[in-house]
Structures are given as C-alpha cells and as structure tokens.
Amino acid sequence: MTAHSNIYPTKALQELDAAHHWHPFSDMKSLNEEGSRVITHADGVWLTDSDGKRILDGMAGLWCVQVGHGRREIADAVYKQMNELSYYNTFFKTTHPPAIALSEKLAKLAPAHMNKVFYCSSGSEANDTVFRMVRTYWDKMGKPEKKVIIGRWNGYHGSTLAGTSLGGMKAMHGQGDLPIPGVHHIDQPYWFGEGHEMSPEEFGVFAARKLEETIDEIGEDKVAAFIAEPIQGAGGVIIPPETYWPEIRRILKERDILFVSDEVICGFGRLGEWFGADYYGTKPDLMPIAKGLTSGYLPMGGVMVSDRVAEGLMLAGGEFYHGYTYSGHPACAAAALANLEIIEREGLVERVKTDIGPYLQERWLKLGDHPLVGEARMKGLMGALELVPNKKDPHKPFENVGTVGTICRDISFGNGMVMRAVRDSLIISPPLVLTHEEADFLVKTAEKTLDDTYQVLKKDGWLG
C-alpha cells in the first residue's frame, strides 16, 4: 500500500496494522483484537478518521500541535530546506544556517540567562542529554561525587533509560529493571490525590519540603540536580498548589544543586508564557524542550543550557562525548523556525494568557459541578477532570483504578473528541489556536461524555 490518499477500507487497514505495527504504550494483544482507529487527515483542531468521522483533537496530538494541524507554511519551509540542504551533521566542526538561526531564536525566547541549545530528536533524548550533562558538569567543576539526580514519583521525562529513570512511573520502572543507579524520587505535589487532609497551601509547602529533606538526607555534596515538570502532564495534569514552586525555589537557592525544568509540555505557550519556568518564576539551569518546538510537524528536541552550565562545561576545554546523527537536523530546524514564526505572528502565547485560556478555563471549571467529577482543574490550556464514584466523598477513588477513565475516554472518542485518560481522570491539552466556538464544542462534548459515562456506570453498579 502507499502512505498517502487512503483508498483502503478501515478493516483492511486495521488488519495490516495489527499484523506488523507495534504501538507505543499499548497492550498489543487487546489492541489487535479491538483494532486501531485510523487517522487519515487533520486540519486546524480537527482530525478525520478513515470512516470520515471528524474528531476534535483535545490533546493537540500528544501535547504538541500548538499551531494546529495542516499549516501549509511549515510544510513549505521544510520543502524549501530539503531542496537546499536536506541533511548534514553538526559533529565535524560544521554547522548550517537553519541550526544557527534556530539557536539564535531560542536563545531570545528562553529566559535571559539561557543562551545555548543542544539538539536532539525528542523529549526523551533531551533528558538523556540532561543526565549526562549534569554529571559531566559536576565532574568538570571538580565535584565528581555530586551524582544523584532527584525526580518525582509520577513525573514523566520520557521512555529511554535515563528518561524512564528520572521519571517516576512505577509501571515503567518495572520493565527493564529501572531506575538506573543514582536516581531518587520524592512525592509529587498532587493535592487532590495525596494531600487533601491539608489545605492546598499547606500541602504545597509540605510537598516542596520533601525535596529539602531528601537533599539533606543524601547530602548536598552528593546531589547533582533536581528535575521536574512545571505542571506534570502525563501524570494527569497535576497543578501544584501556589505555594509549591516558591518553596522549591527557596530550597534550591540555599543549596548548590542544578535545577532542570522539563519544558517538553509546558514550553512554547501552553501556560500562556513561553516556558513554564517563566510562568512560575523558577530559574532553571537546564530546560529540556521538544513537542511544541515544531508543533510536532517534524521530530525535534533540545536542551536549553544556562550560561552557568555552559561555562562550566567549557571551562577546561575537552569534548562532551555526546550527540545524535540528527542533532540540529536542517529540515527539523526549518520546521521549528516556521512554527515559532506562526506562534509569534499570531500572538498565540498571549492568546492563551488573556483570551482562549481564561475563556476555556471558566467553562471547564464548571464541569466540576457534574455528579461524576470530584475536581475540575486547568492552567493555561491544560486541564483535568477527576472522576469519582461518590461526589460527597470525592477523594475516594473507584475500584480497579483506570477502568472508568478508559470507559469515559472511549465514550469521548465516540462523541467526537479526543480526551486522554490518566488513571480515572480525563485530561485535555488542545492546540493554542482553538477558537471560542471550538472551546464551546469541547466543553459541550465533555459534558455529554460525562452524562453518557454516568449512565453506563449507573447501569453497571459502579457508583457509590
């Protein structure tokens, strides 16, 4: 078969897919029995499947399609670049105009003290780069005993060895005997699920002080870095209480360890600022980036490096033995530049802050009144609904965690909208170009999905 212009019936595509295609993060046995949904086209915030059904892409692909699907301008920029220089490496004392232009652009957009970028092809590779950079930095600084990196339970930093290890997904650790040595995890600032016996403000400070306790237990002289997402995405859009980041900032300021703000989801406007670090006023030493950098049009990631770390790594000269064939790939860099140009020209970051962000938040939060919802939360354009069996006792979860979330996710798909299930919560992260009308559709569909799910659960005796 050919890749374009689908002429095959859905069933034939599903059978071929089941025969040869191994999907990421999937139970292949049950997926092959059920059959994958085949997406054939996308435009703006709308996907079309192989049966011609239109579906609102409430997840912006996988948290990445900031500018919406089908932007001709990005395709044209890539086409032009591929005709000029489709590929050359950046290893052998060589560079090329797209990598130069993109690096200059990123240095301008990033916080003022971050002026260099190391390229790779994904968020996972960015975090593998972080892992080696952090330890190499301390070696160069004459402190090779500073090796431990602290992450958070239920944090997500990718699925390579370092990415999985730095992340705190226990099910992932169970496959491949991870984490690798020298990684510690502290509890997450998940008030709804783990902290509701305190006020959110108290819990924010309490959760932040876990970092302080852990650094002091291990010894500041042995701790290299702390890594965290400004808001946990894959963990279920965990928005920390307002007191969390200021307290983390205090703790980090008092101790000489590096801070890594994983901006793979929060970067490029998702919170109404260019980076989550701008939103929360943290001062990272390193920032892994990916996803919204190219709006997913081509795979590209990177690590933004602060002046402090860059100077440290270059201090005595010597090579950093690290890099990828596709580091700074010219076509990907061209896609990133065209994408950033659209974000700037259309004022999408500002739009999240002052227009579509508040518009959607106001309506999304009202879904918290639904009998199935224990909490509705949203920041910028990322939100979650916690589904609970009994609204009067909202922190008590469903039995068989994950089943109800999946039921509701499937109903949402059927109703014409992608929401993602994490445990028994439903999450969204729509493209930043979402219009008011589309936001209305999103909320209306979410409401209908909750109603439909409620009926199914009631019939099957799930509700308390």
**Cβ distance to ligand PMP smaller for residue 262 or 438:** 262
**Cβ distance to ligand PMP smaller for residue 22 or 92:** 22
**Nearest CA to 183 among 235, 224, 136?**
224
d(CA 409, CA 453): 9
**Nearest CA to 320 among 125, 99, 135, 103?**
135
Q: How far is the CB of 25 from ligand PMP (least distance, A)?
A: 10
**Cβ distance to ligand PMP smaller for residue 211 or 227:** 227
Gyration radius of the chain's alpha carbons: 22
**Cβ distance to ligand PMP smaller for residue 157 or 377:** 157
Q: How far is the CB of 239 from ligand PMP (least distance, A)?
A: 14
Contact 84, 445 (CB under 8 A): no
Q: How far is the CB of 371 from ligand PMP (least distance, A)?
A: 31
Residue 297 DSSP symbol: S
How big is the CA angle at 343 (ends 240 and 262), to the nearest 5 degrees?
35
**Cβ distance to ligand PMP smaller for residue 329 or 363:** 329
**Nearest CA to 210 among 232, 195, 199?**
195
**Cβ distance to ligand PMP smaller for residue 44 or 301:** 301
Asked if the bond preceding 179 is cis, omega within 30° of 0, the reply is yes
Q: How far is the CB of 117 from ligand PMP (least distance, A)?
A: 16
**Cβ distance to ligand PMP smaller for residue 48 or 160:** 160
Q: How far is the CB of 10 from ligand PMP (least distance, A)?
A: 27
Token pair for 316: 């005595």
Q: How far is the CB of 83 from ligand PMP (least distance, A)?
A: 27
3-state SS assignment for residue 8: coil
d(CA 120, CA 127): 10
**Cβ distance to ligand PMP smaller for residue 147 or 157:** 157
Contact residues: ligand PMP, CB under 6 A? 122-124, 127, 156-158, 229, 233-234, 262, 264-265, 290, 301
Pairing of strands 148-152, 183-186: parallel
Which contiguous run of DSSP H or E holds residue 427?
strand 425-428
Helices (H), 141-199: 161-166, 170-173
Q: How far is the CB of 263 from ligand PMP (least distance, A)?
A: 8
| Nearest residue to ligand PMP, scored by beta-carbon proximity | 123
Residue type, 172: M
**Nearest CA to 349 among 276, 421, 271?**
271
Q: How far is the CB of 98 from ligand PMP (least distance, A)?
A: 20
